[in-house]
Structure 1
């Protein structure tokens, strides 16, 4: 066994051996698990995919006279103001509020607010150093007498600007298809009728949580690559469901564990934090996340050696407008990445929602940081829970016991 402290000592001396998870998978085929364990210290995983349960905390600093912000729009996008006087949360999927924001600055008019622009695009602009207009309405009190405020902000003119993402890095997800007779516009993008196409989200065997299926070497406090800067695992993510059914190799057969992530957006790069838009569905945020896995035991190598042919996802029919939709069974990521799959005898085109090329780049960038001694590993302060169930809201109109 190794310890994270021992690995960090090697990182400080720039002697740590670091492989991307793809490099590991190739090397294991040649030299085996035991020899790979002897050779490598850290394995770098990465993904670049839409993560709509994301957002940014901002602190503007106090105005003179002070204002207690109760409503706020940043570049026409509403930001939540139910915190302290000048604390705001901008959600990645928030959209232009035309009714409440009938007064727009010249900068807003020049940029042109469009329905496809959302909070993720504003976050990207702020990270890129661009100026964005802000309009706020206040609750007048004795200590906060100002009723309204307009300005232009950049990342340099506000105090705190950090991402806090309640749900990122699904351990696995679904494959979306449409068995109906009209196009559907979904969070996976457009799905063509009569099984005209299929879309999958997770990048498969290179994804971070597939390579630590039981969350044994990461936890709360683990340092990660987040949006081109340093981030941390802050908590379990919303809809965290580690009790999902699993294959003998411990990988889940559908959506399972998730993570809540946090990191300083002032360090980040718009290359790795990108606003995006799904036709007739809404805006989201493409985010690059890299997770280093310390090679503490041979078991870490065994888990990271998993191949796309050995992990699966459920094929879900979005034509049925219910929480629990019918499926066409399970399909391997090896099949998905071939670009074609067969459903009930029909060949269906398949495309990834994640950028596989950018996912590889995230892992490679993280590897460079560690090899250069610029990124140290952290010991988790607590394990992530392994016993969370998933509770739906199906009790509409029924009596709920409070006992």
Structure 2
């Protein structure tokens, strides 16, 4: 029906018809897939959820005399410095180092990334390996995003296509990457916004590939590669959506252009720091099939209920539950009514999709053709051969 070039021409002349995924699903119910495919050029999706496999590449710039940094801390958070002399990688889940006897500070790399994006000063302390060309041994200063050369997010694993629902069938509270899980199935937590999530609306990654331009943290980013733990061979429903964790993407984008509203450090009690990140992906309406797949609703999407009280990689499940049921705030597990809440922000996920829609309507955001497809044949390789526990 259309090409991306034709859609971009309409975007540039501010004639493109853009709907959020939520708006599109409502419109399909009103007039059907065929009519919507004729009307709409772009569909915007969004999520705002914890993405701890994220981080920032930072180049400080050379000192005088120069230093070859081999240990470094930003506001007390250790950063990786094992490549170029003043190149650093700040992981979102890296925690503030504390001295013995000190209280744990609920702060980590995600908070430092947020502060830098917000323009706040960040303290740097570095130790160097002294060489003939790098004679300096130590360095201490304060930086902001405007006083460093490069500052960009390079996230190895974002945008899980689906995830799990966490519960705790044991006798004590558990503190997890989904937050606290109370004993004896007293609560449940999920971490995907469901039908408005980017990869649920392109289940076979026919539209999203390497080089796809996206909304990342309030700035422009790109799909860089498949994400770590990418598992597209997950079992799928007839509508092609997976029944559990499946495809993932690695993302990259200039953090100097980002907005701290969409990049927020967070901390999970007794687990550690992470990063709440807003990501939006535009889907070009190239055919009726695109609309048909985007018409999927929360009742058509499921996630597995996983018991964290079993300390194994493969944990028992209590079956599958639809996102429509999850969003009611109550689910039934073995005849028991269990409270359920999202760690993802449904409100902010909607706002990401809406903001991306506004960018496209204003003609400031055009679409890109992927330069390569993401593999849909990747298997998942666990480390089970030499397991010790």
What TM-score, normalized to structure 1?
A: 0.95
| 5+ residue gaps, structure 1 | 103-111, 399-403
Mapped to 1, the partners of 2:371 and 2:294 lie a distance apart of 23
Q: Which residue of 1 aligns with 2:299?
A: 309
Mapped to 2, the partners of 1:97 and 1:48 lie a distance apart of 28
Within the alignment, does 1:267 sit opposite 2:257 as a pair? yes
Mapped to 1, the partners of 2:10 and 2:323 lie a distance apart of 35
Contact 2:266 2:273 in 1 (8 A): yes
Mapped to 2, the partners of 1:99 and 1:341 lie a distance apart of 43
Q: Which residue of 2 aligns with 1:280?
A: 270
Within the alignment, does 1:132 sit opposite 2:122 as a pair? yes
Pairs within 5 Å for 1:105-116: 114-116=104-106
Contact 2:306 2:316 in 1 (8 A): yes
Pairs within 5 Å for 1:321-400: 321-396=311-386
Mapped to 2, the partners of 1:221 and 1:83 lie a distance apart of 25
Contact 1:61 1:158 in 2 (8 A): yes
- Deviations along 1:131-174, one digit per CA (max 9) or x if unpaired, are 01000000000000000000000000000000000000000000
Mapped to 1, the partners of 2:344 and 2:387 lie a distance apart of 39
Mapped to 1, the partners of 2:164 and 2:265 lie a distance apart of 22
How far is the alpha carbon of 1:116 from its aligned partner? 1.0
Q: Classify the secondary structure of the residue corresponding to 2:15.
A: coil
Q: Which residue of 2 aligns with 1:107?
A: none
Contact 2:98 2:105 in 1 (8 A): no
Q: Which residue of 2 aligns with 1:55?
A: 55
Q: Classify the secondary structure of the residue corresponding to 1:266.
A: helix
How far is the alpha carbon of 1:96 from its aligned partner? 1.5
How far is the alpha carbon of 1:114 from its aligned partner? 5.0
Contact 1:96 1:113 in 2 (8 A): no
| 5+ residue gaps, structure 2 | none
Q: Which residue of 1 aligns with 2:13?
A: 13
Contact 1:233 1:261 in 2 (8 A): yes
Mapped to 2, the partners of 1:140 and 1:181 lie a distance apart of 53
Q: Which residue of 2 aligns with 1:30?
A: 30
Contact 1:340 1:349 in 2 (8 A): yes
How far is the alpha carbon of 1:115 from its aligned partner? 2.3
- Deviations along 1:230-282, one digit per CA (max 9) or x if unpaired, are 00000000000000000000000000000000000000011000000001100
Contact 2:171 2:184 in 1 (8 A): yes
Mapped to 1, the partners of 2:364 and 2:104 lie a distance apart of 40
Within the alignment, does 1:209 sit opposite 2:199 as a pair? yes
Within the alignment, does 1:64 sit opposite 2:64 as a pair? yes
RMSD over aligned CA atoms reads 1.4
Q: CA, structure 1 residues 353+397, in 2 after alignment: closer, same or farther (shift >3 Å)?
A: closer
How far is the alpha carbon of 1:43 from its aligned partner? 0.1
Q: Which residue of 2 aligns with 1:220?
A: 210
Q: How many residues align?
A: 388
**Partner residue of 2:221 out of 226, 231, 238:** 231
Moved more, 293-302 or 388-397: 388-397
Q: Which residue of 1 aligns with 2:4?
A: 4
Within the alignment, does 1:78 sit opposite 2:68 as a pair? no
Moved more, 240-249 or 90-99: 90-99
**Partner residue of 2:246 out of 256, 265, 268:** 256
Contact 1:188 1:199 in 2 (8 A): yes
Contact 1:183 1:192 in 2 (8 A): yes
Q: Classify the secondary structure of the residue corresponding to 2:358.
A: helix
Mapped to 1, the partners of 2:286 and 2:387 lie a distance apart of 51
Q: Which residue of 1 aligns with 2:167?
A: 177
- Deviations along 1:277-297, one digit per CA (max 9) or x if unpaired, are 001100000000000000001
Q: Which residue of 2 aligns with 1:120?
A: 110
